[in-house]
Copies of this chain bind each other. A is one copy, B any other.
Amino acid sequence: MNNIQIKDISKYLGQEVSIMCWVYNKRGSGKLNFLEIRDGSGFTQVVAEKDSLTADDWDLTDKIGLESSAKVNGVVKKHPAKEVYEIGLKSIELLGVSHEFPIGKKEHGPDFLFENRDLYLRSKTPWAVLRIRDQVFRSITQFFFEEGFVRFDTPILQPTSCEDTTQLFSLKYYEEAIMYLTQSGQLYLEAGIASLGKAYDFGPVFRAEKSKTRNHLSEFWMMDAEMAFFDQKASEDLQEKLVKRIINDVLTGCSKELELLQRNTEILKKTVESDFIRIKHFDAKKLVEEKYNLKVEYEDDMTTEEEIIIGNHFNIPVFIEDYPMAVKSFYMKSYTDSRNMLRAINADLIAPEEAREIIGGSQREENYAKLKSEVVKRNYSLEDYNWYLDTRKYGTVIHSGFGLGLERIVRWLSGVHHIRETIPFPRTTVLKKP
């Protein structure tokens, strides 16, 4: 007999197989029971006919509790019209009992599911979303390899607090000092490219932000890429290629998962085939003001509402370029525009369908004196930044980079509402075990 995984079921049409699985749902009565089973690789249905089973086996299909584990043996059958396969049961063995599984058919509130996260993960939505997350991770890994990048794991524990300490988690490091949990590995990557040319990291980052919205996690995964000899234009072209690659891989590799999530993929398909929009920050503000009759602040960052409007307006990803330097980070290269405003040479990539910012990037200031004066102007500690300034002291080069938020892009692609759905055990301002 073939021990198979559900993902391979179509290959065994007409054959007898056995599957190790969990029973996640059941219905039936009288002479027929239907068990919905899951083995991690997929889902299928087992049809149990009273007349073709032993009394014990029939009894088990009647009484088995949801989430019990079992070994089922039976023959693979196909729906006459659809590409749907099922198992005609011949025998069943109970492996691990389960009684009164806390998550049932009835609707549960998000709090209940959050508190029982370890059990909720067995549901179809997290199964599908986590598989999309896995695909996105692999696409990124493969893309950067093909583009000549080297993975460069930047440290989680950082001895200096960059920029704003109010959103940092800190801890005591042995007897010696305070360490901070990373918010970004970018500055370390900038040292790395002098060795490796093109480098990226991809790991957890932390933000102690007390916002309770569907957009916020205190622990999430961030990919930072940094490229020597790239200007902002070259960086944007690479970002566009990366995003298209990710979406294409998800559309082809996760069609089953997208279907299960009932994701309308029209805009994703359009995104793969279109050139991304590039618009200046000034023009984006103006568009919102003139076409949507909203009052805008030209010197401010894009607001949440404005990002959503821009995303909906174009319905494909949009690079919003050249933000006012005053609202952007000290390390960005800048220029003075015709209205005498200092502007960063940067872009945030806004995704449609209310997904908002999925990438932020910029060209970096490569001039030692200019970078140092920006550090001083912002009252950052020169002592802390000396090593970083050294990257400009010894053979500085034009370079650019960007950061991509994994959960942000997974939420967009999977179409789930809350960012919490996109990571196995979310960390938010409300502490939940486990």
> Given B210, B366, B427, B433, which contacts A96 in the complex, CB threshold below 8 Å?
B366
In angstroms, Cα B366 to Cα A391, docked, is 53
Q: Would you call B177 and A173 a contact (CB within 8 A)? A: no
**Interface status of A374 (Cβ within 8 A of chain B):** no
- Say yes or no: A195-B130 contact (C-beta < 8 A), given A387-B118, A424-B188: yes
| 11 A-B pairs in the complex with CB atoms less than 8 angstroms apart | A7-B148, A67-B394, A96-B366, A122-B194, A127-B195, A130-B152, A130-B195, A158-B434, A159-B434, A173-B218, A203-B203
A42 to chain B, nearest CB (A): 9
Q: Would you call B130 and A20 a contact (CB within 8 A)? A: no
**Interface status of A250 (Cβ within 8 A of chain B):** no
In angstroms, Cα B152 to Cα A131, docked, is 9
Q: Provide the A394-434 mask, 1 if CB < 8 A to any CB of B, else 0.
A: 11111000000000000000000000000111010111111
Q: Provide the A107-122 mask, 1 if CB < 8 A to any CB of B, else 0.
A: 0000000000011011
Pick the most buried of A158, A188, A195, A388: most chain B CB atoms within 10 A of its CB.
Answer: A195
Q: Would you call B160 and A195 a contact (CB within 8 A)? A: no
Interface size on A, residues (CB 8 A): 96
Q: Provide the A49-68 mask, 1 if CB < 8 A to any CB of B, else 0.
A: 00000000000000000011
- Say yes or no: A434-B40 contact (C-beta < 8 A), given A130-B150, A397-B96: no
Which residues of B are found within 8 Å of A172, using beta-carbon distances?
169
Q: Provide the A215-229 mask, 1 if CB < 8 A to any CB of B, else 0.
A: 000110100000011
Which residues of B are found within 8 Å of A198, using beta-carbon distances?
40
Consensus secondary structure, chain A interface: mixed
In angstroms, Cα B423 to Cα A40, docked, is 34
In angstroms, Cα B180 to Cα A433, docked, is 13
Q: Would you call B173 and A431 a contact (CB within 8 A)? A: yes
Which residues of B are found within 8 Å of A206, using beta-carbon distances?
156-157
A190 to chain B, nearest CB (A): 9
**Interface status of A186 (Cβ within 8 A of chain B):** no
Q: Would you call B395 and A22 a contact (CB within 8 A)? A: yes
Nearest 9 A/B pairs, CB to CB: A40-B197, A96-B396, A69-B395, A118-B191, A171-B171, A98-B394, A98-B395, A67-B394, A387-B434
Q: Would you call B40 and A221 a contact (CB within 8 A)? A: no
- Say yes or no: A395-B177 contact (C-beta < 8 A), given A118-B191, A194-B122: no
Q: Would you call A154 and B424 a contact (CB within 8 A)? A: yes
**Interface status of A360 (Cβ within 8 A of chain B):** no
In angstroms, Cα B370 to Cα A146, docked, is 49
> Given B96, B150, B160, B424, which contacts A134 in the complex, CB threshold below 8 Å?
B150
A52 to chain B, nearest CB (A): 25
Q: Provide the A246-282 mask, 1 if CB < 8 A to any CB of B, else 0.
A: 0000000000000000000000000000000000000
In angstroms, Cα B171 to Cα A433, docked, is 16
Which residues of B are found within 8 Å of A67, using beta-carbon distances?
194, 394-395
**Interface status of A344 (Cβ within 8 A of chain B):** no
In angstroms, Cα B20 to Cα A226, docked, is 16
**Interface status of A193 (Cβ within 8 A of chain B):** yes
Chain-B contact segment, one of A79-87, A137-145, A291-299, A312-320? A137-145
Q: Would you call A118 and B391 a contact (CB within 8 A)? A: yes
- Say yes or no: A155-B425 contact (C-beta < 8 A), given A203-B203, A210-B174, A431-B176: yes
Which residue of chain B has the shortest Cβ distance to A68 in the bound complex? B395
Which residues of B are found within 8 Å of A20, using beta-carbon distances?
228-229, 397
Q: Provide the A6-39 mask, 1 if CB < 8 A to any CB of B, else 0.
A: 0100000000000010110000000000000001
Q: Would you call A397 and B148 a contact (CB within 8 A)? A: no
In angstroms, Cα B338 to Cα A99, docked, is 37
**Interface status of A45 (Cβ within 8 A of chain B):** no
Q: Would you call B395 and A40 a contact (CB within 8 A)? A: no
**Interface status of A311 (Cβ within 8 A of chain B):** no
> Given B160, B191, B433, which contacts A159 in the complex, CB threshold below 8 Å?
B433
